[in-house]
């Protein structure tokens, strides 16, 4: 199910948060310095977040587009705001960040969200009106559901390939991401036959300048179903160790079919894509 984005006025939210009473009874934040904030005009994403966590106030005022995995959700004492604590590094449960929002999006621990808004720096430590401020604080104008794919490590390089059709089965590795920690192959299969076809991602591999790289399954990503019925289309992500494409780079995968012309169950047909640079 998709939820419509929820918006709040950025300035109103920031002012309201700053005026919330603290656990010690004082005001939330000292008067803002004269002039634009140091991060004004900057655009920040997950790729920038290690630097943001090291010094949030140096980026205060920057525009943020951040995906994170939810750890906890808290309401302010007056019920007007929610503090959503997320890990911007979802895989390693690191780079903890607080998102302040009025959005009523239903959330549970380990859900993924994408927040767009303004970085308010660290504001203050401790609890503000019942909301614990952990790490950088983002005032979100838009909050919507996300997935593990959205939270994956950034691609340093991306390749695409054209559809390949054999026996009325079309296989499209529509995206290959080369990230610092892994290589991700996004595959779409369309079965236009009258037979069920069978797919096993573990039978795939990368061939990079003659070196064969076997998959490292990561179940948090969408998985291709084992059986694709007649007329169906499915997608999945297969992961491999981190690599950089060489002069000859191939993705090799296989499927089998109940159609005797293709091969009985257990007999596979290799499909190979080659990219040139």
Strands, DSSP E only, in the chain?
43-44, 63-75, 82-89, 94-101, 112-119, 127-128, 131-132, 137-146, 155-159, 164-166, 169-179, 183-191, 197-199, 205-208, 211-213, 227-228, 233-240, 249-257, 269-275
- Give the contacts of 54 (CB within 8 A, at least 6 positions apart): none
pLDDT of 13 > 70? The answer is no
pLDDT of residue 272: 54
Lowest-confidence segment of 43-52, 53-62, 191-200, 267-276 by average pLDDT: 267-276
pLDDT of 189 > 70? The answer is yes
Q: What is the pLDDT of residues 105-149, one digit of tens each?
A: 899 999 999 999 999 877 555 567 778 899 999 999 999 999 999
Q: Phi/psi at 160 (nearest 5 deg)? A: -130, 160
Confidence (pTM): 0.73
> Which of 85, 48, 83 has the alpha carbon at shortest distance from 63?
48
> Which of 97, 105, 171, 187 has the alpha carbon at shortest distance from 138?
97
Number of neighbours of residue 227 by Cβ within 10 angstroms: 12
Domains and CATH numbers, the chain: 10-22+38-146 (2.40.50.140), 155-275 (2.60.40.4170)
């Amino acid at each position: 199910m998709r939820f419509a984005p929820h918006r709040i006025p950025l300035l109103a939210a920031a002012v309201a948060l700053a005026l919330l009473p603290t656990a010690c009874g004082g005001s939330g934040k000292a008067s803002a310095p004269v002039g634009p904030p140091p991060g004004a005009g900057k655009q920040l994403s997950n790729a920038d977040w290690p630097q943001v966590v090291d010094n949030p106030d140096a980026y205060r005022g920057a525009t943020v587009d951040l995906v994170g995995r939810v750890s906890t959700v808290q309401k302010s004492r007056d019920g007007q705001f929610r503090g959503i604590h997320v890990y911007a590094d979802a895989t390693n449960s690191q780079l903890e960040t607080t998102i302040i929002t009025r959005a009523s999006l239903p959330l549970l621990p380990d859900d993924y969200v994408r927040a767009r808004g303004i970085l308010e720096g660290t504001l203050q430590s401790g609890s503000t009106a019942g909301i614990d401020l952990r790490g950088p604080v983002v005032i979100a104008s838009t909050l919507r559901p996300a997935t593990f794919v959205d939270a994956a490590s950034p691609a340093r390089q991306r390749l695409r390939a054209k559809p390949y059709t054999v026996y009325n089965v079309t296989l499209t590795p529509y995206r290959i991401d080369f990230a610092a920690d892994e290589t991700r192959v996004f595959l779409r299969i369309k079965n236009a036959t009258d037979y069920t076809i069978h797919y096993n991602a573990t039978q795939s591999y990368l061939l990079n300048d003659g070196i064969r790289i076997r998959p490292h399954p990561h179940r948090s990503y969408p998985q291709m179903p084992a059986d694709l019925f007649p007329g169906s289309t499915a997608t999945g992500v297969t992961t491999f160790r981190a690599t950089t494409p060489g002069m000859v780079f191939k993705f090799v995968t296989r499927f089998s079919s109940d159609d005797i012309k293709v091969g009985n169950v257990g007999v596979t047909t290799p499909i190979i894509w080659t990219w040139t640079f």
